[in-house]
Amino acid sequence: QVQLQESGPGLVEPSETLSLTCTVSGDSISGYYWSWIRQPPGKGLEWIGYIQYSGNTNYNPSLKSRVIISLDTSKNQFSLNVISVTAADTAVYYCARVKWWSSSYHGMDVWGQGTTVTVSS
């Protein structure tokens, strides 16, 4: 059974870089897309971006200038970096598997438990 686990600092200072890693266990990282999603306090889910196994990425236009998602196939991990953070980046951050099957989109079918990141000095 595939499982995802987010890891990274829970506190980041303003203007610094937020860095999170998602470790995939129980299955290979190949053959899927992998995504990051966040939920600010009191707000809804916000898609951040995703990375394909090939390394191609796609980002939410509202965050594109500050976000990088990368893949480490040797460790079965993918990562998120958000630069120049502000208090508005405070959120619960989730990683998720994006499932395409037989050329059809099957949604984000496996999620990590989420990790809370607070931006504050």
Partner 1 sequence: SYELTQPPSVSVSPGQTATITCSGDKLGDKYVCWYQHKPGQSPILVIYQAVKRPSGIPERFSGSTSGNTATLTISETQAMDEADYYCHVWGSNTAHIVFGGGTRLTVL
Contacting positions for partner 1 (CB under 8 A)? 35, 37, 44-47, 50, 58, 60-62, 94, 96, 98, 104-109, 111-114
Q: Strands 91-101 and 33-39, how do they pair? A: antiparallel
Nearer to partner 1, 19 or 114 (CB): 114
Least Cβ distance, residue 86 to partner 1 (angstroms):
21
Least Cβ distance, residue 29 to partner 1 (angstroms):
19
Least Cβ distance, residue 101 to partner 1 (angstroms):
10
Total Cβ atoms within 10 A of residue 48: 22
Contact indicator for 32, 99 with CB cutoff of 8 Å:
yes
Phi, psi torsion values for 32, nearest 5 degrees: -130, 165
